[in-house]
Amino acid sequence: MKKIFLFSIIIGLSFSCAKKVSEEKKPSQETTKAAKEDTSSPTVVGGDSDSHSCKASAGYTWSILKKECIRIFENSTKLSHAEDGKTYTTVAYVIFEGDKAELFLDTQKESIILERKSEGDSWIKDDLQLIPWKGYVLKKGEKIIYTGE
């Protein structure tokens, strides 16, 4: 009788341990979710091409006038924010092609094309006016917003 009792205790313990081991091996829902998130595609540095295949992380922007990706800080005229007693960290860039000027403002998603009628005139679009005077002056309405050389 003692042998049967001892044998049944050993069998009972082995089954109870087997359940715990098998439960530990099953991944929880949180573990499964984390594993799925880890298998998502990693973000590739330099993989930020826009609709024109320009890589912004490398400093390239699409130029409507040049019809290619350019680095506006290398191939353009820099205009600084107009002096009004305040300090600004914004700049505007302009590239020229014939009687057209392409204006890149940090407040605009797309560049703006300004046109002039003849040499010596200002480039104009709507209320923006780029005036060739002691370098360049960019006005919005009657207010000077950027100046540069």
Domain extents in the chain: 2-38, 56-148
pTM, full prediction:
0.61
E-state strands within the chain: 61-63, 68-70, 77-81, 91-97, 100-105, 112-115, 123-125, 128-131, 136-140, 143-148
Please report, in tens digits, the pLDDT of each residue of the chain (149 residues total). 667 766 667 776 666 655 454 445 555 555 555 555 555 555 555 567 778 888 888 888 899 999 999 998 887 888 887 766 566 667 888 999 999 999 998 888 889 999 999 988 999 999 999 998 888 999 999 998 888 87
